[in-house]
Amino acid sequence: MTSPDFSAGAAWQRGEFVPIADASIAMTDWGFLRSDAAYDVVTVWDGAFFRLDAHLDRFFASCRRFRLDAGKSRDEIVGIITHCVRLAGLRSSYVEMICTRGQPPWGSRDPRQAVNRFHAFAVPYVWIANEEQRARGLNVVMSGVRRIPSASVDPRAKNYHWNDMTMALFGALDAGGDTVLLTDGAGGVVEGPGFNVFAVTGGRLVTPAEGVLEGVTRRTVIEMAQSLGLPVELRALAAEELRGADEAFLSSSGGGVLPVTRVDGHELGNGRVGEVTARLRDLYWEWHRDPRYSTPIAYGGEVS
C-alpha cells in the first residue's frame, strides 16, 4: 500500500491523522450546518510555535463561552497539532484547532444533547496579504456593513460567524480595494476578516477596545509598543480618525504587522509605509526568535 501523502498538510479527525485533502467533517455536524464552533489558529515559524500558550488559553476560553468541550487536555491538543506539523514536515505553518457542536439525536434541537468534536490541521503558512501588498501597503475599504453586535455573538470568542465580513469583503474587492474594515454602526471602526486594526498619530497607537476579537497578534503589538515606549490607547476609533491618521496597519497571525497606505483609495499620511509600522513589523519577526514566546518542535518525535 502507498503511504499517505502529507506534503500539502495534515489533519486530525475522529482519532486519526489524514492528509489534508482527505479531511472532512460530518455533514450533519452543527459546526457545518450552523457555524456552531469555536476555533483558534497558532502559527509555526522556523520550526517553532509562536505564543502557543496564549492561543491555547484563548481556544479554551472560546469553548467555555460557547459551552463547548473539546474533550482534550492542553497536553493532548499540543501533541495532536505538533504531530500534524511533523507529518507534513512544515517549518512554517498555519495550524488550526477546532471544536464543533456535533449533532444531537435526530429530532432534537437541544444543543446539550450533542457530542462535541475536536478537529485540527496544519498547512503551509498562510499570508493574508501577498508580497506586493506587504511592500506597498494595503488599500483598505471602509464598509457600510455593520459588524455582528457583541450582544449577539461575542467577538472575543473566536468563531466562524463571518457572513457580515464576507459580504463586506465582496464590496471592498468589487471597489478595487485589497481588504475591508467593518464598523459598529455608530461610526466606530472595529475589525476586518481575520485581523485587528491600529491607527498611528504622532507616535501614539490607537486600537478599538470593544466589539473585536482580542487577537494574540494585537496583544503582541501592544506589548512591543510598550517595550519601545510608544503610547497605546485602547478605545473607540472613529472612521474619520483612521482616515486622518499618520499611519495605520493591520495585525494578524497571517502576516504579523501589515501596513495600510490607503483608505478607500485615498493616501494615508504620505502614502508610504510608516516608520512606526515598519519598526513594529520588524520587531514582530524578531520576537519569534525570543524563547519567551517560541515553543520549538521536535520533528523526529511521535504524538504522545
pTM of the model: 0.95
| Domain, as residue range, for 96 | 10-126
Out of 85, 110, 126, a domain closes at 126
Residue 294 domain flag: no
**Domains contained in the chain, number:** 2
Residues 76, 32 within the same domain: yes
Mean pLDDT per 10-residue interval, the chain, length 304 residues: 91 97 96 97 98 98 98 98 97 98 96 97 97 97 94 94 97 97 93 97 96 97 98 97 97 97 96 97 97 94 48
How far is the C-alpha of 210 from the C-alpha of 218, rounded, in Å? 13
Same domain, 121 and 188: no
- Residue 183, burial from CB neighbour count under 10 angstroms (0-12, 13-18, 19+): buried
Residue 219 grid cell: 496583544
Say whether both 144 and 275 belong to one domain.
yes
Question: Do 89 and 140 fall within a single domain?
Answer: no
CATH code at position 62: 3.30.470.10
Quote the CA–CA distance of 32 and 21 in Å, as a whole number: 17
Same domain, 138 and 122: no
pLDDT attached to residue 98: 98
243 and 271 inside one domain: yes
Helical pair 216-227 and 275-287, crossing angle rounded to 10 deg: 110
28 and 176: one domain?
no
Task: Say if residue 135 is in the same domain as residue 120.
Answer: no
Contacts 24+ apart (CB under 8 A), 170-176: 171/141, 171/143, 171/144, 171/145, 172/140, 172/141, 172/143, 175/141, 175/265, 176/139, 176/265
Burial class (CB in 10 A: 0-12, 13-18, 19+), 202: exposed
CATH number assigned to the domain comprising residue 139: 3.20.10.10
Q: Are residues 14 and 77 in the same domain?
A: yes
Q: What is the dihedral angle through the alpha carbons of 98, 149, 239, 197, rounded to the nearest 10 degrees?
A: -20
169 with 273, same domain: the answer is yes
Place of cell 490607503: 262
**Domain identity same for 116 and 146:** no
Using CA atoms, how far apart are residues 91 and 183, in angstroms rounded to an integer? 37
Domain boundary among 100, 126, 152: 126
